[in-house]
Structure 1
């Protein structure tokens, strides 16, 4: 039985709403300042999410507030090393993480994360 145009519109609306809700659930509010681009931010966030979940037993981060602690330029003026602080909140608790990002010889960025007390 073919789907009528009205039903197609309703189906599309439901699919769109589900995608928006799923997107909201997996992407918390991010505020503050960071040197990360969207790809690096996603990679750092994914690692922090695993760390936060293991420590707090919370799988739902609601907010991340980042701040730049220090920047070290390379001789050509690009950022060689950046240290940031990410305040992560979820499930009524929060943790602070130190994120150290270092440029490598291939033009990529290596990062490490440690929890701060």
Structure 2
């Protein structure tokens, strides 16, 4: 399929798909006219890349993990890398939870008549 078709099927911009290729995350072949062509499996790969980006992984981390994904194997190094990313996300969740609780407190305080602003 062409790059536009892949973009439509994955709801990812053509620009992002080109970036994925530049980063070594996605591969294509070229038509006689030089257009990028992708296998059907590229749809699943782009969705995985998007999920990993959404989880906060960098393109370097994703590129480092893709050989294990492609080989369908797990190494101690890849598991450690994934565990470290999970721990980073857990820390972000904890920080966001604290921020949400602070906002709830502020909403409560400012919802009362004549609120006293004590944000400490």
TM-score by length of 2: 0.27
Larger Rg: 2
- TM-score norm. by structure 1 comes to 0.28
Query: Could you say which structure has the higher helix fraction?
Result: 2
